[in-house]
Amino acid sequence: MDFVAFVDVVAIDRRFSLLLVRQLGQDRLMAISVRVIGVGDAFTDRYYNASFFVESGKTRLLVDAPPALGKALGDLGTRGGERIGLADIDRVIITHLHGDHVGGLEQLLFFRRFVVGRKVELYACPEVLAGLWDTRLSGGMDTLMLADGSRTQLKLEDYADVIPLETGRNQIGDLVLEWRPTIHHIPTSALRMSNGQTSFGYSADTAFDSSLIEWLAESDAFFHETNLGVHTPIASLVELPEATRSKMRLIHYPDFHDVERSPIPCIHEGDRLDI
């Protein structure tokens, strides 16, 4: 029979790795990998802002593009595993337009245009895409000077292949992705993705929402934020059923959160979650 088991968090060279293995008879199948770039909130001075890769088959999807993205990727590479740079990011999804989640997108898009010469696939729900260019990017990206001194006007589609997420299922390479709105200041999308064998979810920024958590808990594993203000308090998460908490790892936590004594385990920068 199929079964899913957590192997507990173990220390390796002062780092932590979390392994979630789906076993089929005697075979272990690593179906989805999640590599954690950053875990911090908007005010952190200890961590990079929350961001990670989801990988399955030949598909690599960057979830959110925080400030100092290139530096964060470089530091991720020093923690072991494949080194991934801006040139290696072909797909990115933006959950919402707060700076800690989208502040590195300009860097990524400029690098891809001027250095790589190839666009990224840029995904977001329609409400997020509606404000992305006008409120976040156009001021620094809508005008380029050419070699002869003339200027040309550009739009978002000149930098990226823009793909709005549809309601329901979206095929992104080897992944099938679903989204739903969260309770936040501005339009924000939680994510759930699968490759047909295993699945992973992410709350993105949200106030406590039991129906959202039930939706996420249909995945084999998921990350959930915890923070102050219009976010999810840890006190609400610890009241959830143990079966739900066992699938959950915390991200986007404040600097003062005690990760070693956290009642729900935290994900750490550099962790790799294999599902």
Residue 205: pLDDT over 60: yes
- Taking residues 234-251, what's their average pLDDT? 97
Residue 228: pLDDT over 60: yes
Q: How confident is the model over 22-50, as pLDDT tens digits?
A: 443 323 345 899 999 999 999 999 999 99
Q: What is the structure's pLDDT at 114?
A: 96
How far apart CA 226 and CA 238 sit, in angstroms, is: 11
Q: What is the structure's pLDDT at 30?
A: 53
Q: How confident is the model over 114-156, as pLDDT tens digits?
A: 999 999 999 999 999 999 999 999 999 999 998 899 999 999 9
- Taking residues 186-190, what's their average pLDDT? 98
Q: Which two tokens stand for residue 5?
A: 């088991």
Mean pLDDT score of the chain: 90
> Residue 89 in contact with residue 118, Cβ under 8 Å?
no
**pTM for the full predicted model:** 0.89
37-51 exposure pattern, b = at least 16 Cβ within 10 A, e = fewer: bbbbbbebeebbbbb
Q: Which two tokens stand for residue 246?
A: 């066992």
Q: Coil, strand or helix: which one is 189?
A: strand
Q: How confident is the model over 161-174, as pLDDT tens digits?
A: 999 999 999 999 99
Residue 20: pLDDT over 80: no
Q: Coil, strand or helix: which one is 159?
A: helix
